[in-house]
Amino acid sequence: MRSEPESFRARTLSASLTVKDLAKSLAWYHDVVGFSVEREHRREGTLRAISLSAGDVRILINLDDGAKGWDRAKGEGFSRSNRSPPTCLGGRACSGCATRTGSS
């Protein structure tokens, strides 16, 4: 048993953000931060979200439709999903060997 918890390790990041102004948010993430547009998501002809990427980082910016109310608290809450690191054929975590399985 470990005396200290193992540190959090990640190779990729994916996040979904809800925004009030899709055009302003796209301008900031694309023009200022440097993300590339991967895909536009439309529903019934209306632009609803945009998938962005920069290296192994993926962000989906979604237009807030007000369905949960415009006066609701925002910026509260956090969700995280982990993927296990690839493992070598011997069952141990793979850290740079030539034999890799899985995908991060």
pLDDT tens per residue across span 35-89: 999 999 999 999 999 999 999 899 999 998 888 787 877 666 665 555 555 444 4
The structure's pTM equals 0.62
Q: Tokens for 97?
A: 């060997």
Domains of the chain with bracketed CATH? 12-65+84-104 (3.10.180.10)
More confident residue, 10 or 63: 63
| All residues at 6 or more sequence positions from 12 whose CB lies less than 8 Å from its CB, including other chains | 56, 57, 58, 104
State the pLDDT at residue 67: 81
Q: In what order do the strands lie in the sheet with 57-63?
A: 13-19, 57-63, 46-54, 36-43
Say whether pLDDT at 91 is over 70: no
